Amino acid sequence: MPHTPLVPLQRVKSSGLHAAQLVVTGFAAAVLIGTVLLLLPISKSGPGGASFIEALFTATSAVCVTGHIIVDTPVYWSSFGQVVILALIQVGGLGIMIFASLIGITLARKMSIRGRVTAAAEARSVGMADIAGMIRGIVVITVVIEAAVFLALTLRFWLGYGYQLGDSVWYGLFHAVSAFNNAGFSTFSDNLVGFATDPWICLPIALAIILGGLGFPVIMQLRKEFRRPLHWSMNTKLVLVGTGSLLAIGTALTCWIEWSNTATLGEMSPADRILAGFFHTVQTRTAGFNSLPIGEMNSETWFVSDILMFIGAGPAGTAGGIKVTTFLVLFFIMYTELRGEGAVNIFGKRLSRAVHRQAITIVLASVAAVVVATGAIMLLTDFELDRVLFEVISAFATVGLSTGITADLPVPAQLILVALMFLGRLGPLTLGTAIALKQRRTLYEFPKERPVIG
């Protein structure tokens, strides 16, 4: 059921490429504008202006909704500067959701014209067919969720902590936007460490993060067909199952390893330990707030967090990482292979073969980026592998958690993080688009051969 059966392939192809170029150009422009605004003296508290690397790093971190910082947000930036950061976060978060969905629709059309996949499945997984309606849907969902979390947080800051109403509103707004967009920026110098045992702060923020991390196609389908799970797309099922499993496993491991660490969970009540362990796990996928001092955690917890951060959350949402769908697709490929079955079936649907190679490619390219950046930063600094790897994965997956070394890195290493945030935010999306659009039929075939594997 193609929507535009008469559009020639060439036009669809160029509009797809155009969309991908638009994402990169748009994000680069947002970073540039953000950098210029943050360089203005009005953006900085106290006399003088920020340095170029401070402005560039902060703007990139905000637009790519990462949350890595090299200066203390509430102390270093003025109120104006913080408003700029918040605006960059919102632009970046909306931008990625809109562009990812836009590319999804373009690809669905292209696929349907080539007859490779039915457009119906694609369109359903994207959520709707017409672009204006889709953008409207994304904006409405964003505003509704952010408003609800804003209200809850503002009331709590005002009534529970005695902040003035104006401050409470600002804190509530900032954290609601920062949470739904998985940004992890905070208006508190210790991020959310002061609220580690307060479920009225932690749970609304966690909920906003999880919803933002599900991705727009999933939210859209849940809104429309919440009571009809049999109608859910493979994408929706994968994201929900993956989100639930990773949250449960991550919380269990974090609580287990940190249970007696007096610098993190050790001094809390059992219920609070579970709350804080859960909250930390939510942050690794890939929001980046912290209610526990990351630098004081056991390096085993960093290792577990590395894996959760690398996987990330759902596609076409505000989360980074290789995405939970990519991870589960690889898992199901392995499972099928071990069972010796021919086709990879997931929840009663057969996985398109083209997706196998796409998933491998995304993962390999991501591993390559992480490995090269880790090696480079280790050469540039004296930090240990565990801290550097954590920092690199955190930047690439746009998480923003840090063991505390970000501000101490030399400028070249900080520039590597800037590049990683940008690459991690746009790389998988544009790579996926380029792959899908470049696919061409070859007119000849070589004879087949199998090398020895393993």
**Smallest separation (angstroms) from a copy of itself to the CB of 438:** 3
- 452, interface contact from a copy of itself, K ion, none, CB < 5-8 Å by kind: a copy of itself
Angle 50-51-52 from CA coordinates, rounded to 5°: 120
**Smallest separation (angstroms) from a copy of itself to the CB of 248:** 17
- 316, interface contact from a copy of itself, K ion, none, CB < 5-8 Å by kind: a copy of itself
Which of 168/286 has CB closer to K ion? 286
Among 213, 288, 314, 428, binds K ion (CB under 5 A): 288
286 neighbors 213 (Cβ within 8 angstroms): yes
Which residues contact residue 260 at a Cβ distance below 8 angstroms, ignoring those fewer than 6 apart?
A: 266
Which of 333/407 has CB closer to a copy of itself? 333
**Smallest separation (angstroms) from a copy of itself to the CB of 231:** 13
Instruction: Tell whether residue 184 is a contact of K ion (CB under 5 A).
Output: yes
345: β partners: 350
**Smallest separation (angstroms) from a copy of itself to the CB of 440:** 6
**Tokens found for residue 252:** 């269990």
Contact positions with K ion (CB under 5 A) in 63-92: 66-67
Q: Rounded to the nearest 10 degrees, how much is the dihedral formed by the CA atoms of 68, 372, 335, 435?
A: 90
Which of 175/425 has CB closer to a copy of itself? 425
Which of 45/261 has CB closer to a copy of itself? 261
**Tokens found for residue 301:** 């917890």
Instruction: Tell whether residue 93 is a contact of K ion (CB under 5 A).
Output: no
**Smallest separation (angstroms) from a copy of itself to the CB of 349:** 4
CB atoms within 10 A of CB 274: 17
Instruction: Tell whether residue 104 is a contact of K ion (CB under 5 A).
Output: no
DSSP string, 82-127: HHHHHHHHHHHHHHHHHHHHHHHHHHHHHHHHHTSS-HHHHHHHHS
311 neighbors 246 (Cβ within 8 angstroms): yes
Please choose, from the candidates 417, 326, 313, 309, the residue with its C-alpha nearest in 3D space to the C-alpha of residue 364: 326
Which of 346/421 has CB closer to a copy of itself? 346
Lay out the site mask for K ion across 323-342 (x = CB under 5 A, - = otherwise).
--------------------
Which of 96/126 has CB closer to K ion? 96
Which of 190/386 has CB closer to a copy of itself? 386
Q: Rounded to the nearest 10 degrees, how much is the dihedral formed by the CA atoms of 90, 276, 235, 11?
A: 20
Positions that interact with K ion (CB under 5 A) = 66-67, 182, 184, 288, 400
